[in-house]
Structure 1
Amino acid sequence: MKNLLVAQSGGPSAAINATLCGVVEKGLADKNIDKVYGAQNGIIGILAERMVELNALLSNPQSLQLLCQTPSSALGSCRMKLSHWEESTFEFEKIISIFRKYNIGYFIYIGGNDSMDTVHKLSEYCRLRKINDICIMGAPKTIDNDLMETDHCPGFGSAAKYIATTFSEIACDCNVYALPAVTIVEVMGRDAGWLTASSVLGRINGDSAPDLIYLCEKPFSVDGFLRDVREKLGEKHAVVIAVSEGIKNEAGEYITDCLQDRTTDAFGHKILAGAAKYLEEIVRQEIGCKVRSVELNLMQRCASHVASAADIYESRLLGMAAADYAMAGGSGKMAAIKRISTKPYQFEIEFVEIEKIANQVKTVPLKWIHEQGNDVTQEMIDYLLPLIQGELPCTYENGVPVHFRLF
């Protein structure tokens, strides 16, 4: 008998634990699996042998259900980039030796672009070294929705639901005053504007916000932005604006680069913040009305109290599918969602070669963005709507939600 190992990596979400549940469920149900291990803090935890045996901790449906409604990464996360084996085999040899020590035959890594880079490197190393008794699979996760080869990503639907809800509520707040005012809301998204685009769903029940939407896929012009704001202020007294944190100018530079030099993370990505604050100052100086900026920040990815039931359901299925595929001998792939139809919404799960996904970014199609670059189209709304449907039952104690803790 072999053991199954699962780990989580990258930014947390409201759905990543549902994927973990799916993996664990399959492992516990398979008579050929002895133990299901979880590695604390992703690949770093594997290298440090920080393993948690999950069999007893998640042996009952109540624990699994509570884990599904718990935001963030229950196993902990990391942002570590493996070296390429052509440069150094040390990390790979150590990982394989640890897998041997714990009799790991199947490894499922839940994460986004950078995590799929790890899956790609590990599975390629095993393939080239003819290590055929360890299967390595990717299970998708990212609120950014920027993974290639999948219609959408687990975690995105719940984040989109939170963003739509928040914009609707912001509109209610802003519209009570008669004085002209501008509210600029910064949404996560370094190189892909999917999350910012989801703000459009704040309008679907009759609210007006957001009035303007700027994604990072189209060059951002400060002059054009000011023109748009003045035009909206001519129509109404309260203007609410959604902007991607990664909006760039015509030269492809982040508009906040002029404020300070940005540091980078382990994968070389610039650490961004401040787009809304930057635009707040410009509106204050150039237009002179009341203006405020809001940065949604971490709330976008940890708001499990408003999670999408559709998102949690799909996330759990993808975890189950990835584990199933690995235990059947599959390796070097990622479980992905293929949309069959939008109305009615139907999908199926397929398995995609990991090299088609690792280190690539799926951006919003330009045809789904208005030519002026300040809004999105009906096609975007149709794409988004099925992903935010349904609400989960939430367990409360002492007036606040209860969360499951593995350690």
Structure 2
Amino acid sequence: MKANLLVVHGGGPTAVMNSSLYGVIMEAKQNQAIDKIYGAIGGTEAILTGNFLDLGLTSDEQLERLLHTPGTAIGSSRFALEDEHYRQMVEIFKQHKIKYVLFNGGNGTMDTCGKVYRICQDEDICVIGIPKTIDNDLAIIDHAPGFGSAAKYIAHSVAGVAQDVKALPIHVTVIETMGRNAGWITAASALARKAKDDAPHLIYLPERPFNEAEFLADVEELYQRLGGVVVVVSEGLKNEQGESIVPPIFKTDRAIYYGDVSAHLANLIIKKLGIKARSEKPGLLGRASSYLQSKVDRDEAVRVGREAVQVAISGESGVMIGIDRVPGETYQIKTPRIPLDQVMLHEKTLPEAFINARGNDVTAEFIDWCAPLIDDDLPQFLNFKDQQQ
């Protein structure tokens, strides 16, 4: 007997989140066990209101657009669920004859997914997680769909800024990346380098306490030697006490909002060193750029979406589709099933082997790990100044 499937998006979108959605829909359309393919229009909150759309009615031609559409075509949310909401979901699933529930998201979404799985364990409902996060902080897995495209964006962006700064080497540019407590995107800026003294000249990650004196010394030395300096920093930089290096500007019951780290550090350079400085913060541009979408990232996003459907149809439940690297010279992945309780709110940060001793750069080991995920080489620029050196 046929049953219905529901796919739900949670948290911040990525450049390839809709590619996973494409994988889910296309795989489900081909499976005789599935009748309706529902999308929750507006994230987890939409489950409680029954705001579902049958995505299976969309033509294959239209669905192809998902592969190059950033954001999330069915909407997302950060709705705070209470225990009573999870109990309500079971009845809603039954009302709509939903047997397969797929959650696509990061740490918080996998926590929700795990809780839904637990409450559905005694019901004929299979719950599966699909990984997603630009921050790359999902535990256990090698990397998550969304990160490769964010890494490609920051590498290309820093490479472009580097040419601008080299052309007029009179100031320091501080670029701030997203990532909260994990510095994966910040670290990926190192892929912009082609030669010695290429930008980024300094990289500061939240995995290491930020030392203001060392930072200023590093910047001053590079400025005296190069004239123009590019620094990439994480939005989550903290001091030795574990506090943000910028003070909070607004607080609510659920969150604390801080000022821009890049603006703070640029001002510090001006005040303490007397050097012209400016800040840049790509912000949402880094996760919404379909133009700089990584093909590897997109293909893997489709794959985990398809496999989530396959696993659900097999009757398995309570797992997230993982991504592991297959050892060898050629980049390949495998997709193990990860129990949800191993990824629920567990945060993965950069290992020590990926960070240099002084804490102001990444290692060659990180470059080797990250390079395959952005799927291409950066543009080859021509700069006549380099030929005179």
The verdict on a shared fold, with TM-score over 0.5 as the criterion, is yes
**In 2 relative to 1, CA 264–304 (structure 1 residues): closer, same or farther, beyond 3 Å?**
farther
* Residue 157 (structure 2) aligns with: 166
> For 1:313 and 1:8, how far apart are their aligned partners in 2?
18
> Counterparts of 1:145-164 in structure 2 under 5 Å?
145-164=136-155
> For 1:75 and 1:206, how far apart are their aligned partners in 2?
45
* Residue 14 (structure 2) aligns with: 13
* Residue 77 (structure 1) aligns with: 76
**In 2 relative to 1, CA 52–338 (structure 1 residues): closer, same or farther, beyond 3 Å?**
same
CA displacement 1:283-330 (0-9 Å, x = unmatched): 010111111000111001000111000000000000011111011111
**In 2 relative to 1, CA 28–280 (structure 1 residues): closer, same or farther, beyond 3 Å?**
same
**In 2 relative to 1, CA 44–178 (structure 1 residues): closer, same or farther, beyond 3 Å?**
closer
After superposing the two structures, state which structure 1 stretch, 280-289 or 237-246, moved more: 280-289
What one-letter code is carried by the residue in structure 2 that aligns with 1:361? E
**In 2 relative to 1, CA 121–175 (structure 1 residues): closer, same or farther, beyond 3 Å?**
same
**In 2 relative to 1, CA 157–235 (structure 1 residues): closer, same or farther, beyond 3 Å?**
same
Q: Partner of 2:291: helix, strand, or coil?
A: helix
After superposing the two structures, state which structure 1 stretch, 200-209 or 109-118, moved more: 200-209
> For 2:296 and 2:257, how far apart are their aligned partners in 1?
31
**Contact 2:177–2:235 at 8 Å: present in 1 too?**
yes
**Contact 1:81–1:118 at 8 Å: present in 2 too?**
no
> For 2:185 and 2:161, how far apart are their aligned partners in 1?
17
**TM-aligned CA deviation for residue 222 of structure 1:** 0.9
> For 1:264 and 1:160, how far apart are their aligned partners in 2?
32
TM normalised by structure 1 equals 0.90
Q: Partner of 1:161: helix, strand, or coil?
A: helix
**In 2 relative to 1, CA 280–36 (structure 1 residues): closer, same or farther, beyond 3 Å?**
same
**Contact 1:19–1:320 at 8 Å: present in 2 too?**
yes
CA displacement 1:4-35 (0-9 Å, x = unmatched): 11011100100100000111111100011111
The count of corresponding residues between Structure 1 and Structure 2 is 376
What one-letter code is carried by the residue in structure 2 that aligns with 1:114? G
* Residue 291 (structure 1) aligns with: 277
Determine which of 204, 208, 211 is the counterpart of 2:198: 208
**Contact 1:264–1:271 at 8 Å: present in 2 too?**
no
CA displacement 1:365-395 (0-9 Å, x = unmatched): 012101101000001001111100059xxxx
* Residue 249 (structure 2) aligns with: 260
| Alignment partner of 1:220 is 2:210 | yes
Determine which of 99, 109, 132 is the counterpart of 1:105: 99
**Contact 1:144–1:195 at 8 Å: present in 2 too?**
yes
CA displacement 1:142-163 (0-9 Å, x = unmatched): 0000001110000000010000
**Contact 2:249–2:258 at 8 Å: present in 1 too?**
no
* Residue 26 (structure 2) aligns with: 25
**In 2 relative to 1, CA 352–327 (structure 1 residues): closer, same or farther, beyond 3 Å?**
same
**Contact 1:215–1:373 at 8 Å: present in 2 too?**
yes
What one-letter code is carried by the residue in structure 2 that aligns with 1:64? L
Q: Partner of 1:304: helix, strand, or coil?
A: coil
**In 2 relative to 1, CA 333–240 (structure 1 residues): closer, same or farther, beyond 3 Å?**
same
> For 1:205 and 1:18, how far apart are their aligned partners in 2?
34
CA displacement 1:156-177 (0-9 Å, x = unmatched): 0001000000000000111111
> For 1:19 and 1:4, how far apart are their aligned partners in 2?
15
> For 1:273 and 1:52, how far apart are their aligned partners in 2?
39
**In 2 relative to 1, CA 101–212 (structure 1 residues): closer, same or farther, beyond 3 Å?**
same
| Alignment partner of 1:191 is 2:192 | no
> For 1:271 and 1:218, how far apart are their aligned partners in 2?
21
* Residue 66 (structure 2) aligns with: 67
Determine which of 135, 138, 144 is the counterpart of 2:126: 135
**In 2 relative to 1, CA 9–228 (structure 1 residues): closer, same or farther, beyond 3 Å?**
same
**Contact 1:190–1:272 at 8 Å: present in 2 too?**
no
**Contact 1:246–1:272 at 8 Å: present in 2 too?**
no
> For 1:315 and 1:144, how far apart are their aligned partners in 2?
15
**Contact 1:245–1:272 at 8 Å: present in 2 too?**
no
**Contact 2:169–2:229 at 8 Å: present in 1 too?**
no
What one-letter code is carried by the residue in structure 2 that aligns with 1:191? N
**Contact 2:41–2:76 at 8 Å: present in 1 too?**
yes
Which consecutive aligned stretches of 4+ in structure 1 deviate over 4 angstroms post-superposition? 261-265
> For 1:78 and 1:135, how far apart are their aligned partners in 2?
22
**TM-aligned CA deviation for residue 65 of structure 1:** 2.1
**Contact 2:187–2:362 at 8 Å: present in 1 too?**
yes
CA displacement 1:42-73 (0-9 Å, x = unmatched): 1101111111111122x31x322211100001
| Alignment partner of 1:144 is 2:157 | no
**In 2 relative to 1, CA 247–264 (structure 1 residues): closer, same or farther, beyond 3 Å?**
farther
What one-letter code is carried by the residue in structure 2 that aligns with 1:221? N
> For 1:112 and 1:41, how far apart are their aligned partners in 2?
16
What one-letter code is carried by the residue in structure 2 that aligns with 1:331? S
**In 2 relative to 1, CA 271–260 (structure 1 residues): closer, same or farther, beyond 3 Å?**
closer
* Residue 338 (structure 1) aligns with: 324
TM normalised by structure 2 equals 0.94
* Residue 54 (structure 1) aligns with: 55
Q: Partner of 1:220: helix, strand, or coil?
A: coil
Percent identity over the alignment is 40
